[in-house]
Amino acid sequence: MSLLIKNGRVVDPANSMDAEQDVLISGARIERIGPDLPLAADTTVLDATGKIVCPGFIDIHVHLREPGYEYKETVATGTRAAAAGGFTAVCCMANTQPVNDNRSITDYIRAKAAVEGIVRVYPIGAVTRGLGGEELAELAELAEAGCVAFSDDGRCVMNAALYRRAMEYTLPFGAPIISHAEDHELSRGTAMNEGVVSTELGVPGAPAAAEDIMVARDILLAELTGAHVHIAHLSTAGAVRLVRDAKARGIRVTAEVTPHHLLLTEDAVRAFDANAKMSPPLRSKRDTEVLLEALVDGTIDCIATDHAPHAGSEKEGEFDRAAFGIIGLETAVGLLLDRLGRPGALPLGTLISRLSRDPARLLRLPGGSLAPGAAADLTLIDPGAEWTVDPAKFASKSRNTPFGGWSVTGRPWKTIVGGSIVWE
């Protein structure tokens, strides 16, 4: 079975390609790329004139909520949301119930993904047992079971000695430790960024230093141990500076940024919409500018959504008490294309690289390239499609997004995993 994608603009940063080309898929693999490829028998043709053809997008920071919180999201609905958003692979965080801190949970998630998932799912194992921050999880067992990284995301491992041991312990597996960098003492009881807006609103705010302190600590621990530390959802100018300096000194640190930390500021909290509440919080305009600059120059390695589904009831009521986090899989690509790509703030090739080649490299995942022989995971984009974000139409089980009603130009057109169109 073959699929020939004709006349698309192929943008494949891993192979320095940006040109009108045909892509021939044979079975589950890329067979050939070139101009005007001949049409063989039993080949389906897909006319991609005017569309952009990219390596499949990979989101390394997703909460699929299964097992334990199936009312928020499941592997089935979360992977459908991913496919609808143009993602062909996701990495899922360990803060399920029970926590993914031992092989039986990893096996469970992988089995669910194999049967009910429509994109690739790579579990991330917990660093500490039950995310309790007190004793290490079964790290070797988790790596063996297929976890691609370790993280207590949602919480910061506050005990530096324990975190150091985790880094040393995981060195032989080569899987990075992903840090949710937040000093919980500095951020205790807060619901937004600390600054003029929090003062005006009378909402308790967390200072940027709550993040910066832990980013600095984790860089020092990476230097001490030689481990690869990846900083999740970087949100402050100070943290960018720390990562930039650390990279210049050759320390193995990488970082991601979310679409919402690029596109929204603390001003969004003025409406007291709980969909403007996340951890880390939305920061200042200046922070968003520094984050974008760092994403363009490569200080920040990739884009990840931190897709965090919550039920409506968990986002209602007082702002101070609402749950942290928003969903992002189905809005990320369109918003980034429209708000950053179209005005030229983020070059298209860089945007695609930060969604495909770079996350694949970072976690040593297959994909991120359209080289012949690679898995046929592709994201096809319609750059001219005009649409309005309507949460009621999401494939996700949850609706917690601050982007409802936004008008957007550009969106995923088709999502192909292993040679099969899984969403269109």
Q: Which residues are catalytic?
A: 306
- Nearest CA to 124 out of 92, 157, 102, 98 is that of 92
Nearer to Zn ion, 69 or 423 (CB): 69
Please, are residues 381 and 337 in contact by the beta-carbon 8 Å criterion? Answer: yes
Segment contacting Zn ion by CB under 5 A, of 3-11, 175-183, 195-203, 283-291? 175-183
72-78-79 Cα angle (round to 5):
165
Least distance to Zn ion, CB of residue 120, Å: 22
Helix axis angle for 237-248 and 209-225, nearest 10°, is 20
Please, are residues 221 and 160 in contact by the beta-carbon 8 Å criterion? Answer: yes
Residue 180 near Zn ion by CB under 5 A: yes
Site for Zn ion in 327-386 (CB under 5 A): none
Interstrand relation of 2-12 and 43-47 (parallel, antiparallel or unpaired): parallel
DSSP letters for 154-194: TS----HHHHHHHHHHHGGGTPPEEE----HHHHTT--EE-
Segment contacting Zn ion by CB under 5 A, of 9-17, 106-114, 180-188, 289-297? 180-188
Burial of 410 (0-12, 13-18, 19+ CB in 10 A): buried
Nearer to Zn ion, 180 or 228 (CB): 180
Nearer to Zn ion, 180 or 283 (CB): 180
Residue 314 near Zn ion by CB under 5 A: no
Least distance to Zn ion, CB of residue 144, Å: 25
The size of the chain, in residues, is: 424
Site for Zn ion in 127-156 (CB under 5 A): 153
β-bridge mates for residue 20, sequence order: 9
Nearer to Zn ion, 80 or 180 (CB): 180
Residue 103 near Zn ion by CB under 5 A: no
> In whole angstroms, what is the distance from residue 220 CA to residue 235 CA?
19
- # of chain residues touching Zn ion (CB under 5 A): 2
Within 13 Å and on the Cβ side, how many CA atoms surround 80?
12
Chain residue at closest Cβ approach to Zn ion: 180
Nearer to Zn ion, 95 or 356 (CB): 95
Segment contacting Zn ion by CB under 5 A, of 131-139, 179-187, 199-207, 408-416? 179-187
Least distance to Zn ion, CB of residue 231, Å: 10
Least distance to Zn ion, CB of residue 152, Å: 9
Least distance to Zn ion, CB of residue 206, Å: 13
**Interaction site with Zn ion (CB under 5 A):** 153, 180
